[in-house]
Structure 1
Amino acid sequence: MPSTTQPLRKLGFLTIGLFDGDDPRPGHESTLRIIELGEKLGFDSAWVRHRHLQYGISSPVAVLAAATQRTSRIEFGTAVIPLGWENPLRLAEDLATVDILSGGRLNPGLSVGPPMHYDRVQTALYPDTGDREDFGYERVSRLLSLIRGEPASSFHGTEGIEEFSDRVQPHSPGLGRRMWYGGASTRSAQWAGAHGMNFLTSSVVRAEGPGSFEEIQRSHVHAFREQHPDGERARVSQGLVVIPTDTATSEQRAKYEEYAAKRLPRTTEPQGPARMLFSPDFVGTSAELAERLYAHAAFREIDEVAFALPFTFEHEDYVQILTDLATRLGPALGWKPAA
């Protein structure tokens, strides 16, 4: 086993929460059961993706509110909430409520930019203000200020028999330190660092210059920490697709390898006008995966991960993958499960 300078401190996983549009409850229940399993296995965190007008979790805040009542320790994250779909004031109230319900276990991950297929959804989303909405970093700044307790109203006090606050209620004091930005560019990494956020980096980066995926991702980690007040101690989480096969059946191994092979062509060169570069998926035994991760330039810069579960697998596949992550790969990377 290769040596590493520091053990993996936090092990998490990320799920999209797929469901059948004609019968959505079983898919949502499966997601909650997977989160419960993650807690039993000692994972530090469970993260959910965010999908609008698709067959994945559209309301991570609601799903995680349910998860708070079925767990007691594991932390929750969103990776990521696209703020173009959200009103920052209302989202601040929802996030603070879930954080209170969880006992301070929420880690909201955010991103900016216009909603996907905005020209097709604008009439439903912003019928009166669609051409005036700001989908840039200012939207994150508004949310951060509200989460951190800055005034949302010029009025507070008693009106009749009702009491009003000038800031978002409930207020969760620690939530402001657990806000994450999901970035794929140098600019995003620098902005997140300068604004005291944590940084989520995933299996896709923007190829702004030459270099491999690993080198570009490492440069983003450096750019983030150079701007962050905490410097080298600033938190970064990596979200690669990592699929251990130690206890997989032969059918499962074949499925996983086919999945990775179908996605491999997009990793050979930047994709589209935005020049997005994807990481290959990692499939193999835990010993093989540990070897590859220790050789990964960006992985060597971080000490916490939220490995992404593939989109289209069955519940039993996720059980096997999570079990191997917690009992095989995690320990191979120096991680210890939570008590």
Structure 2
Amino acid sequence: MPLPSEPLRQLGFLTIGLFGEDDPRRGHESTLEIIELGERLGFDSAWVRHRHLQFGISSPVAVLAAASQRTSRIALGTAVIPLGWENPLRLAEDLATVDLLSGGRLNPGVSAGPPMHFDRVGRALYPDTADAEDFGYERARRLLDFVRGEPATDFRGTEGFEVFSDRVQPQSPGLGSRLWYGGGSLRSARWAGEHGMNFLTSSVVKAEESEDFAEIQLSHIRAFRAHHPDGDRARVSQGLVVIPTDSASPAQRAKYEEYARKRTPRTATPRGPARLLFAPDLVGTSAEIAERLYAHAAFREVHEVAFALPFTFEHDDYVQILGDIAGRLGPALGWRPSA
């Protein structure tokens, strides 16, 4: 998006789907209601995060299956499913099933790498094979192949009354072109491009060649497109944390500003052995946020976004934030709601 005169084409949002330990159903219902609201407001996509052994969505595919039956238009995505927790063949079956149920609206986002805290959870996940599991890009490639219809076995035919396929079933036409890779490094960006995926870039990157967040993210986007068969037309979605305050109450505005203030120190320098660098949260009026986005070098390279909702807010806060994004910030970026 090199100029403000070029409109944002796709506007989405991302939620972690928090729930209380004593009443998990209420939290899941809240997430589904937020997705329904997003469709009514005209958002193009709704995305859910993935959390294991926490009080956030642990089964995004199941949640999106439910959402597919309560919506009719909005695209439904995962950002992202960490494949270290998954069997690629079984996941391919689930993804294709939900895509068919949704009418072809599923946008699965995935990532490679070992599960978080694998030293503590590895034996529970893989009691017999923890030391032999491959958590690299090969795991993602297997999922791609299964979703895109490559053989999973050398047998197909009939045994008695049962008919067997050599491909994962069901197959959902078009799903293979709607697979996204969530990457925060140059290597991931290149790999996603080489394998013809779409690319999700979020508010966290690895500080490999710079300590300027926008500069790093821009380099990832350009590396991805340089290695993708579609070149500059390859799809990239940016997911920054955006909190407009246009219609917020004074109490909400104070809470949002305090939330961002507490998180700001982590944006100053790269953190940990992986040198992770976090983007600042964008809090303010829609006009102020739009101005900051147009000054962001990476934002100027994308045509679609999935703005991340803060983790710990209340349902009413999300309703206000989504209303302002759809009603004020989106239009300030040239976006128009879907019918």
TM-score by length of 2: 0.99
Where in structure 1 do 4 or more consecutive aligned residues deviate above 3 Å?
none
Please state how far the C-alpha of 1:4 moved relative to its aligned partner. Answer: 1.6
Please give the alpha-carbon distance, in whole angstroms, between the structure 2 residues aligned to 1:39 and 1:159: 46
Matches within 5 A, 1:1-339: 4-339=4-339
| SS of equivalent to 1:12 | strand
State how far apart, in whole Å, the 1-side matches of 2:158 and 2:182 are: 40
Mind listing any 5+ residue stretches in structure 2 that lack a counterpart?
none
Cα distance in 2, alignment partners of residues 85 and 94 from structure 1 = 14
Kindly state the Cα deviation for residue 3 of structure 1 after the two structures are TM-superposed: 5.1
- How far residue 211 of structure 1 moved from its aligned partner, in angstroms, is 3.9
Give the match's secondary structure for 1:77: strand
Partners of 1:21 and 1:37 in 2: CA distance:
25
Counterparts of 1:3 and 1:97, CA distance in 2: 40
Q: Which runs of 5+ in 1 are unaligned?
A: none
Shift of 1:293: 0.3
TM-score (norm 1): 0.99
Q: Distance in 2 between matches of 1:141 and 1:210?
A: 29
Q: Secondary structure at the match of 1:208?
A: coil
RMSD: 0.9
What amino acid does structure 2 have at the position aligned with 1:144?
A: L
Task: State the Cα deviation string for residues 47-102 of structure 1 (Å, max 9, x = none).
Answer: 00000000000000000000000000000000000000000000000000000000
> Which amino acid in structure 2 is aligned with residue 142 of structure 1?
R
Question: Secondary structure in 2 aligned to 1:224?
Answer: helix
3-state SS of the aligned residue for 2:76? strand
1:61 partner SS: helix
The separation in 1 between residues aligned to 2:276 and 2:215, in whole angstroms, is 14
How many Å apart are 1:21 and its aligned residue?
Answer: 1.0
Q: Tell me, what secondary structure is at the counterpart of 1:322? A: helix
Amino acid at match of 2:96: A
Q: Distance in 2 between matches of 1:284 and 1:149?
A: 46
Amino acid at match of 2:236: V
> Which secondary structure state, in structure 1, belongs to the residue aligned with residue 269 of structure 2?
coil
Write the letter of the residue equivalent to 2:6.
Q
Identity of aligned residues (%): 79
SS for the counterpart of 2:167 is coil
Aligned residues between the structures: 338
Deviations 1:93-151 (A, max 9, x none): 00000000000000000001110010111111000000000000000000000000011
